[in-house]
Amino acid sequence: MKFNVIVIFMTMLGFTTQAQSFDDKAHQILKNFLIEYPNQTQFSVAIIDADKTHYYGQVKVSDTIKQLDNSNSVFQIGSVTKVFTSTLLARLVIDKQVKLTDTLQKFFQFPLMENAITLEELSNHTSGLPRLPSNLNLATVNIENPYKSYAEADLEYYMSTEMEVSKSKSNSYQYSNLGAGILAKALENLTDKTYLELLSEELFHPLDMNQSTLVSKTFDKNLVQGLNPEGKPTPVWEMGEFKGAGEILSTTNDLSKFVKAHFGDQEDAFALTTLPTFLVNDNLRIGLGWHILEDESGYDLYWHNGGTGGYSASVYMVPETRKAVIVLTNVSGFHPKTSNVDAMGYELLSMF
């Protein structure tokens, strides 16, 4: 996954020509990918180049690709939510309310089976926790909304009775939706605020992300209908106690504001999330929430994607060059070609 970053200086006339060519190429890339998906599929894309943000939208209707302005249309962003959860953690660290090395037991009043897990380990997926808790039986849930019924009592029972970490926990990366859910719960307990209140006060309101929320506050008017793998309507996922792992609803317009907040030079919560905390292998490091790759120019490339029953999302950013690509779509995270959403994002980023 390598990208070229090209800086081109041109006259005003030349810039106008290049801008049109850039737009045409972006639209063609979207069309090439969108044609593979069912009717009613939408792509909403933001391409950020320093202070400029270009929005591109397409929808497939009656096997025809049409352009539309959907930069303010709402999609579920799935696991990209984890970056927001980690940013809340980073904000509390900057404010000296917690330390990354604080252990989990500090934030729960009942005794935990595993109490040595740190907040940092929850954020960077090195806690050793499994992807999902043992008392969530996916064979018995409503497959269209599998996490909705997992309540606080279920999480407490798991953490006090069944919680186990992998025996290979030491120096190991193990992606965990459970860990992100527990991290959000710990932050709620610390602040005595709900996860939505924390998001609103610390991120959504300060960044003017006025179309971003959780499922409980769905924007019915602007919400794009999610599609299952067969292209049929399916509901947004209500995540229960996993809301910190994947419940946020947002738009490319709002997410552009969040991404641009990482482009400053100040030592703030956004900068803290981008600092590497764990080396997975020679090609991958982990910050707080972010996965960190490296492009061929040696710049750090930050990435996270997400998928739920009716939506997929991918976010890529290179803070050093102030470039980014955001892709939101109502392609199901279980569609056989959902990985093409990531591929399209990489191709769009390579246009710079």
Across 178-201, average pLDDT: 98
Amino acid in position 69:
D
Q: On the CB side of 272, how many CA atoms lie within 13 Å of its CA?
A: 19
Across 314-338, average pLDDT: 97
Length of the chain in residues, anyone?
A: 352
What are the structure tokens assigned to 286, written together? 């982990």
Q: Is the pLDDT of residue 172 over 80?
A: yes
Q: C-alpha 320: how far from its chain's center?
A: 20
pLDDT at 299: 93
* pLDDT tens column, 7-56: 222 233 333 444 458 999 999 999 999 999 999 999 999 999 999 999 99
Q: What is the 3-state secondary structure (H, E, C) of the chain?
A: CCCCCCCCCCCHHHHHHHHHHHHHHHHHHHHHHHCCCCCCCEEEEEEEECCEEEEEEEEEECCEEEECCCCCCEEECHHHHHHHHHHHHHHHHHCCCCCCCCEHHHHCCCCCCCCCCEHHHHHCCCCCCCCCCCCCCCCCCCCCCCCCCCCHHHHHHHHHHHCCCCCCCCCCCCCCHHHHHHHHHHHHHHHCCCHHHHHHHHHHCCCCCCCCECHHHCCCCCECCEECCCCCEECCCCCHHHHHHHCCEECHHHHHHHHHHHHCCCCCHHHHHCCCCEEEECCEEECCCCEEEECCCCCEEEEEEEECCCCEEEEEEECCCCEEEEEEECCCCCCCCCHHHHHHHHHHHCCC
Q: Is the pLDDT of residue 317 over 90?
A: yes
pLDDT at 169: 54
Query: Domains of the chain (ranges plus CATH)?
Result: 12-349 (3.40.710.10)
What is the pTM (predicted TM-score) of this model?
Answer: 0.93
